[in-house]
Amino acid sequence: MNENKKHMGLKAKERLSNTVIYAILIVMSIVWLIPFVFLVFESFRVESTYQVGYVIPKQFGFDNYINLFTKTDFPIWFKNTLVIGLFVSVIQTVIVLCMSYTLSRLRFKGRKGLMNIMLVLGFFPGFLSLVILYKVLSWLNLTSANSVPGLILVYVASSGMGYYVSKGFFDTISRSLDEAARVDGATRFQVFTKVIMPLSKPIVIYTILTAFMGPWGDFMLAKYVSHATSAGMNVAVGLQTMISTPASLAANYTMFCAGGVVVAIPITILFMCLQKYYVEGVTGGAVKG
C-alpha cells in the first residue's frame, strides 16, 4: 500500500513537472515567434507606413513589397548580397578546408606555432584593420559602388582564420584510414582527395552554408566599404539606412518589414533544408573549441 502510494506520488510529481515544462516551452515558443509574426503582419499593412499600436493590419496589401522592388534600390542590394554570398561560399569553403585539413591531419614543423599565432591574431578586434583595408580598397577602386568585389576579397582573404569547426571534424576521422592508404602507396594528395574528402560531406555542406549566410548578416564591414553609396550596399546596410533617421523611419518602416521578410524567407528555407548539417557542425565545433 505504502509502496503504491509512493509510486503514485512520484508519478504525480512527474506529471506536474512535465506540465510546468510544457507551459514554459509554450510561452517560450510564443515569445520567440512573436516578433516574426508581427514582422510579417506589418509588412502587409497598407494604411500606414509608420509604427502603430496594433498588430493586424486594417487593410492588407502588397503595396510595401511592390514599393520595395520598384521605388528603392532593394533589388540591387539583394543582387549584391547574393553575388557576394555565392562567391564567398565557394572560395571560403576551399580555403577553410585546405587550412583545417592541413592543421588537423598533416604533421609538419611549425604546426603548433602556426595555430598559436592564429589564436593570438584572433584577440585583435577585426575592426581595427578596416581603416587600412578601406584605404587600400579605395585605391583599387573597390569601394562605394564597386564594393562587391572588394567585400568578397576581404571576406575570403582572412577566412582561413575560421578553421576551428572543420578542424574539429577532421580530428574525429580515424587516422588509421590515412595510414592504410599510405601503406597502399597513395600520396598525401590522393589521401586528401580520394579518402578523406568523400567522408567529409557534412562539414563541406556546413562550411558552404555558414559561408553563404555570413555576408547576409554582415553589417560593419559592408557599411564601411559601401561608404553610403546605395549601389554598393548589401541588404543589411541597405535596410538599415532605410530606417536610420526618424524621418526615413516614418516613411519606410513597413517597407523595411517587407524587406526583412523577403530576405528571411530564402535564407530560412535554405537553412531548414540543411539544418541537419548545421546542427552537426555547431555541436562538433563547440566540443572541440
Partner 1 sequence: MEKTNHSQQLNLFEDISDLQLLNLTKFQLFLYKLIHFFKGIPGLLVSLFKTIGKLLKGLFTWIGNDLADIVKTFKDGDFKTKLSYLIMGFGSLTRGQILRGLLFLIFEVVFIVYMITAGGHWLGKLGTLGTQLPGTVYDPKLDTYVRVDGDDSFKCLLYGVLTIMFILCFIYTWRMNVKQNKDAEELLRAGKKLKTAKDDVSSLLDDQFHKTLLALPLTGITLFTVFPILFMILVAFTNYDGAHDGYSNLFTWVGLENFNTLFSMNTSSGNMSFAFGEILSWTLIWAFFATFTNYFLGMFVAIMINKKGIKFKKLWRGILVLTSAVPQFISLLYVSKMFAANGMVNGLLINQGLISDLSHIIRFWEDKTLARIMVIVINIWIGIPYLMLITTGILMNIPADLYESARIDGANAVQQFFKITLPYMLFVTGPYLLTSFIGNINNFNVIFLLSGGGPNNIKLSTAAGTAGDTDLLVTWLFKITTNEGSKYYLASVIGIMIFVVVSTIALIVYNVIPSTRNEEDYS
Residues within window 52-91 making contact with partner 1, judged by CB under 8 A? 52-55
Handedness of CA 111, 114, 120, 122 (dihedral sign): negative
Residue 60, classed as helix, strand or coil, is strand
Please state, in angstroms and as integers, the Cα–Cα distance from residue 270 to each residue in 84, 120, 267, following that order.
Answer: 16, 34, 5
127 is a site residue for partner 1 (CB under 8 A): yes
Of 146 and 164, CB closest to partner 1: 164
113 is a site residue for partner 1 (CB under 8 A): no
150 is a site residue for partner 1 (CB under 8 A): no
The span of 61-69, 143-151, 200-208, 212-220 binding partner 1 (CB under 8 A) equals: 212-220
48 is a site residue for partner 1 (CB under 8 A): no
Residue 206, classed as helix, strand or coil, is helix
Residues in 215-244 that interact with partner 1 by CB under 8 A: 216-217, 219-220, 224, 235-236, 239-240, 243
Contact residue for partner 1 among 1, 120, 183, 247 (CB under 8 A): 120
Residue 45, classed as helix, strand or coil, is strand
CB-side neighbour CA atoms (13 Å) of 129: 12
- Cell numbers for 254: 513597413
Contact residue for partner 1 among 159, 207, 210, 252 (CB under 8 A): 159
160 is a site residue for partner 1 (CB under 8 A): yes
Q: How far apart are CA 251 and CA 64, in angstroms?
A: 11
Provide, rounded to whole angstroms, the least separation between the CB of residue 185 and partner 1. 11
Residues in Cβ contact with 98 at an 8 Å cutoff, skipping those fewer than 6 apart: 160
Contact residue for partner 1 among 12, 27, 56, 131 (CB under 8 A): 131
Of 39 and 145, CB closest to partner 1: 39
Residues in Cβ contact with 177 at an 8 Å cutoff, skipping those fewer than 6 apart: 195, 196, 199
Q: Give the count of residues interacting with partner 1 (CB under 8 A).
A: 102
Rounded to the nearest 5°, which phi and psi values hold at 197?
Answer: -55, -45
Provide, rounded to whole angstroms, the least separation between the CB of residue 4 and partner 1. 20
Q: How far apart are CA 16 and CA 257, in angstroms?
A: 41
23 is a site residue for partner 1 (CB under 8 A): no
Q: How far apart are CA 197 and CA 178, in angstroms?
A: 12
Q: How far apart are CA 148 and CA 263, in angstroms?
A: 18
Provide, rounded to whole angstroms, the least separation between the CB of residue 128 and partner 1. 4
Contact residue for partner 1 among 59, 141, 172, 229 (CB under 8 A): 172
Contact residue for partner 1 among 1, 4, 35, 247 (CB under 8 A): 35
Of 8 and 131, CB closest to partner 1: 131
Of 66 and 220, CB closest to partner 1: 220
Q: What dihedral do alpha carbons 175, 180, 184, 189 form, nearest 10°?
A: -20
Provide, rounded to whole angstroms, the least separation between the CB of residue 61 and partner 1. 19
Q: How far apart are CA 100 and CA 166, in angstroms?
A: 6
The span of 56-64, 65-73, 143-151, 182-190 binding partner 1 (CB under 8 A) equals: 182-190
